[in-house]
Amino acid sequence: MKHLIVGATGNIGSRVTRRLVESGARPSVFVRSANKARALFGDHVDIHAGDFDKPGSSLTATLAGVDSIFLLTDGPDLEQRDRAVSFAARHAGVRHVVKLSTLDVRNGIGTGPWHARGEDAIRGSGMAFTFIQAAGFMSNALGWSQSIRHAGLLRSSTGSGKIAFIHPDDIAAVAVTALTSRDHDGQALVITGPEALSYGEMAATIGRAIGKPVGFEQISDRQAYTDTIEWAGEGPYVDALVGIWRAVREGRLDTVTDGVQRVTGREPIPFAQWAAENAASFQ
């Protein structure tokens, strides 16, 4: 089977690509930078350079002979990319699209509405699909590294609310299972980490991983917004993030599912393991 990975140079897409390579497959990757892809995957993938944001830089030419696509798109207008890719894929005879979506399509929080429109666009194309509705990623915690390194502190507007962050490797494992079998066609797989934790509990877990106490400081939504625009700039992404943190605080994002176990046959990876693997980022 031939797989095409969109977003292969990113956090999740690179893990999906590596897993496919390790299984003996030779995936194609649609990437903005061929050099970046070569540095990540050497000669083990077929590289197609392209950019969704550049007119005339289409994915269509890469679809010949492709059986399934891992589709990772982002931003408030991601539905346009999801629509274009799924219609082109259907036309080219691709069998299946696996879209990385979010659990928040179910509650309309944060980026949920963006992905809900993307899912609708794919359904509308008539392509066979699997939607991976993932909880927040454990790797989001890398955004706390500066404040933990310099102040031994995680500052957040999430209060004592909890969320079951998921390990990126679990998302990749679910994606590869969905890409390589027909067992999950037509399904939305709701996947989370093994337990919902507060940000204070995650701070303490990171503290244990690095052998130093890490505290938690509650900040207001306004402060969270001001802090976030410093690195992300103003716009819909910051609004989405502050909305997610508010929803965590209000206890609206503490869903835990057995999705990873059902799809992969094993338990999801706990946050303590992610923290141990990434301890160097917080020291």
Ligand X SMILES: NC(=O)c1ccc[n+]([C@@H]2O[C@H](COP(=O)([O-])OP(=O)(O)OC[C@H]3O[C@@H](n4cnc5c(N)ncnc54)[C@H](OP(=O)(O)O)[C@@H]3O)[C@@H](O)[C@H]2O)c1
Binding site for ligand X (CB under 6 A): 7-13, 32-33, 36, 51-53, 72-74, 100, 102, 111, 134, 136-137, 140
Comparing CB distances to ligand X, the nearer of 72 and 98 is 72
Percent helix, strand, coil in the chain (nearest 5)? 50, 15, 35
Euclidean distance between CA atoms 225 and 239, whole angstroms: 8
Q: Is 145 exposed, middle or buried (0-12, 13-18, 19+ CB in 10 A)?
A: middle
Comparing CB distances to ligand X, the nearer of 213 and 235 is 235
The encoded tokens of residue 211 equal 């052998």
Comparing CB distances to ligand X, the nearer of 36 and 83 is 36
Spell out the residues 6+ positions from residue 162 whose beta carbon is closer than 8 angstroms to its own: 196, 197, 198, 201, 248, 251, 253, 254
Comparing CB distances to ligand X, the nearer of 136 and 207 is 136
The encoded tokens of residue 259 equal 């999705």
Comparing CB distances to ligand X, the nearer of 35 and 182 is 35
Give the residue at shortest CB distance from ligand X: 10
Three-state secondary-structure class, residue 106: helix
> Nearest distance from residue 36's CB to ligand X, in Å?
6
> Nearest distance from residue 92's CB to ligand X, in Å?
18
Euclidean distance between CA atoms 96 and 88, whole angstroms: 12
